[in-house]
Structure 1
Amino acid sequence: METNRLSSKIEKILNQQITKEADAAQIYLSYGAWADDQGFAGVANFLFRHSQEERDHMNKVMSYIMERGGRVKISAIEAPSSDPKNLQDCFERIFQHEVDNTNAIYEIVSLAQEEKDWATWNFGQWFVKEQIEEETLVLDLIDKLKIAGGPKATSESLYFFDSQLAQKEDEADLARDASAERP
């Protein structure tokens, strides 16, 4: 008896999204390591937490595919691009990546609507809302960096920006608080 409730097109596009989420996690992880190397511990932990959030999104898509009787296919991801030139460049790259991810989510929702797969359409709405929040968050940070002076920001303004991000609450654990033994 066939138990897969996903069309081959929907299953394929959802598996592509798993790869996109894994790629996003690697980008955040890479930029977090870069920020730490530059002395921005607050930015680094913010990016490390977002890396974990992207992995959580990946797992959410995987779980959905399995719940609908589909087959999850894990694909390789490419290494992140070169390191950012500065914090402004870092967050502008992140914003562009979030916009690309938003467009991928829109493709899933559009295909689900076209196929009248209302379960997948409904599932996709969570990601639509999440992407609005992600884009808004990054745009807010870019605005703050511009106010601080953008690529020519002073050490004092970058220190303040970094310390503000260190205090920002998030759903994911701080990198320094995470351990191999999760409760």
Structure 2
Amino acid sequence: MRMILLALVIIAYVVVTSGLSYFDRLVKNEVEQDLEEHVPQEENDSRKWVDEALYIDELEQPTKPKLTDITSKYESKFENLKQETIDHIEQLKQDVLNEVNEDSNPLTLGVTIIKYEKKADELERQIDEKFNELFQTYLSELKQFGYTTNPVKQLERKYSRTKRSIKNDLVQEANAWIEDQKRF
């Protein structure tokens, strides 16, 4: 009987210690899982600390810009693009004049004029694309903030007038150059 009792005590000891170690492992795993689940994730804190007491909230919606600010921004872009266009045209004119002055043969003169006419058409197409892109971004920004789109229409009309004026000036310059060539 003592042997049975001793065997039961040993079995109970093994069961209890195994059970305790199993229970200990189980509790440890549950605690680790709980800690992993409840560890606060680093949230995307949108605030950026500038100094000890001041922070900037990046998620704040930007204030609605004034119509005059948007208009002046795009008018400035328009003027820059206009100046860039005039610079391209002046460069093309210089290229034409340099090539025409090098060769006075009427046949090559005609070929040169056709060549530069194609270049001028391509330049005009590229410039039109740039201005149309400007008008589209201007239009979308005005719509985004709920403003009227009339300023875009005004700028488009200004572009048409400017383009017509530049073309007329070029035609007059070309006619004056042709008249000068006839005198020689």
TM-score, normalization: structure 1?
0.38
TM-score, normalization: structure 2?
0.38
The structure richer in helix per residue is 2
Which structure has the higher relative contact order (CA within 8 Å, separation 6+)? 1
